[in-house]
Amino acid sequence: MIIRKANSSDIKKSLDIAKTLKQWFTKEAIKNMKIDFVINNTIIVINKKEVIGFLCYNSDNGIIKLIWIGVEKEHQRKGIGKLMLDYLEKEARKIKSNYIEVETLTEKDNYKPYRLTRDFYKKYGFKKLYLKKAPKPRWDDVDVMGKKVK
Ligand SMILES: CC(C)(COP(=O)(O)OP(=O)(O)OC[C@H]1O[C@@H](n2cnc3c(N)ncnc32)[C@H](O)[C@@H]1OP(=O)(O)O)[C@@H](O)C(=O)NCCC(=O)NCCS
C-alpha cells in the first residue's frame, strides 16, 4: 500500500471512485471536487497500482480542514480511511498545526450512509464541536467535528 500526494492522473481516478459512491456524493459534489482536488492538497492510497482512496484537505487560520474523503466500496472497513487520517495528522504535526476539523451531515439527520461516516470520524477521535446551520435553502445543516492532533 502506497500513500502519497495525488498527480493529475490520480485525481481523475479519485473522481471516478467518488462517482461510484452515489449514496454520499451528488453530481454537484463531484463538480465541486473537480475544483477542490486541484486547488487544495489531495492525497491518495494505491493498492496493486490502483488508486483505492483519496483525501482532500486545506487549512484555514492554522486549522487543517478535511474537505473530502472516500474509499472504494470494496476496500472500505479495511483501515484505508484510518491510514489517510494518520497521514494527515503526520502532515499537521510537521507544520505544527494542532487541530483537524471536518464538516459532515448533522447527526439530527438519520440518513444511514452518513451515520456510518460520522461513526468513522468518532471512531478515530473526532468530537462534535457545533452545529452549522445551512446558509442557503436546500443546503444541509452540518456538524463541525474536530480532533486535536497529538
Ligand atoms: C468514511 C470512509 C472514508 C472510511 O474509510 P474506511 O477505509 O472504510 O474506514 P476504516 O476502515 O479506516 O474505518 C472503518 C470504520 O469506519 C466506519 N465505517 C466506514 N464505512 C462503514 C460501513 N460501510 N459500514 C459500517 N461502518 C463503516 C465504522 O466505524 C468502521 O469501524 P468498524 O469496522 O470497527 O465498524 C469510507 O467508508 C467512505 O469512503 N465512505 C463514503 C464517503 C464518505 O462518507 N466520505 C465522507 C464525506 S466527504
Domain encompassing residue 126: 2-148
Lowest-pLDDT range of 12-21, 54-63, 83-92, 134-143: 134-143
CA-nearest of 104, 52, 56, 49 to 76 is 52
Can you spell out the DSSP letters for 6-19? --HHHHHHHHHHHH
Cβ atoms within 10 Å of 121's Cβ, excluding its own: 22
State in Å: Cα 94 to ligand 1 middle: 26
High-pLDDT (> 70) share of the chain, %: 100
Interval 14-65: pLDDT, tens: 999 999 999 999 999 999 999 999 999 999 999 999 999 999 999 999 999 9
Mean per-residue pLDDT of the chain: 96
CA-nearest of 5, 144, 150 to 65 is 144
pTM for this one? Answer: 0.96
Can you spell out the DSSP letters for 29-70? HHHHHHHHHHHSEEEEEEETTEEEEEEEEEEETTEEEEEEEE
Position 106 scores a pLDDT of 94
State in Å: Cα 51 to ligand 1 middle: 17
Number of structural domains, the chain?
Answer: 1
Position 98 scores a pLDDT of 94
Q: Is the CB of 65 under 6 A from ligand 1?
A: no
Interval 113-128: pLDDT, tens: 999 999 999 999 999 9
Residue 84 in this model has a pLDDT that exceeds 90: yes
Query: Nearest residue CA, atom 4 of ligand 1?
Result: 81
Residue 133 in this model has a pLDDT that exceeds 90: yes
Alpha helices in 48-132 (DSSP H): 80-94, 112-123
CA-nearest of 117, 97, 1, 79 to 41 is 97
**Mean pLDDT, residues 59-88 taken together:** 97
pLDDT classification of 138: cutoffs 50, 70, 90: confident
Residue 150 in this model has a pLDDT that exceeds 90: no
Query: What CATH number should be reported for the domain holding residue 92?
Result: 3.40.630.30
